Amino acid sequence: MTRKNILITGASSGLGEEMARQFAALGRNLALAARRTDRLETLRTELIKANPGIKVVVRALDVNDHDAVFKVFGEFKAELGTIDRVIVNAGLGKGQPLGTGFFEANKQTAVTNFVSALAQCEASMEIFREQNAGHLVVISSMSAMRGLGGNLSTYAATKAGVAALAEGIRADLLKSPINVSTIYPGYIRSEMNEKVKKTPLMVDTVPGVQSMVKAIEKESAEACTPAWPWTLMGFAMRNLPLSLVAKLS
Mark whether 184 is an active-site residue: no
- The amino acid occupying position 30 is L
Query: From the first residue on, what is the mean pLDDT of each consecutive set of 10 residues in the chain (249 residues)?
Result: 94 95 98 95 97 96 98 98 97 91 95 98 98 98 93 95 98 96 92 61 91 97 94 91 81
The pLDDT value given to residue 191: 66
The pLDDT value given to residue 223: 97
The pLDDT value given to residue 247: 79
3-state secondary structure (DSSP) of residue 59:
strand
Instruction: Enter the pTM of the model.
Output: 0.94
Residue from 155, 184, 187, 230 carrying the catalytic annotation: 155
Give the domain extent around 210: 5-248
C-beta contacts of 131-134 below 8 A and 24+ residues apart? 131/82, 131/83, 132/176, 132/177, 132/178, 133/82, 133/84, 133/177, 133/178, 134/83, 134/84, 134/85, 134/86, 134/178, 134/179
Buried b (16+ CB within 10 A) or exposed e, 181-208: bbbbbbbbbbebeeeeeeeeeebebeeb
CA torsion through residues 53, 57, 58, 63, sign: negative
Task: Write the pLDDT tens digit of every residue in 44-73.
Answer: 999 999 999 999 999 999 999 999 999 999
Say which CATH number the domain at 109 has: 3.40.50.720
Say how many domains are in the chain: 1
The pLDDT value given to residue 248: 72
Task: Write the pLDDT tens digit of every residue in 85-127.
Answer: 999 999 998 889 999 999 999 999 999 999 999 999 999 999 9
The pLDDT value given to residue 197: 59
Burial environment of residue 38 by CB neighbours within 10 A (0 to 12, 13 to 18, 19 or more): exposed
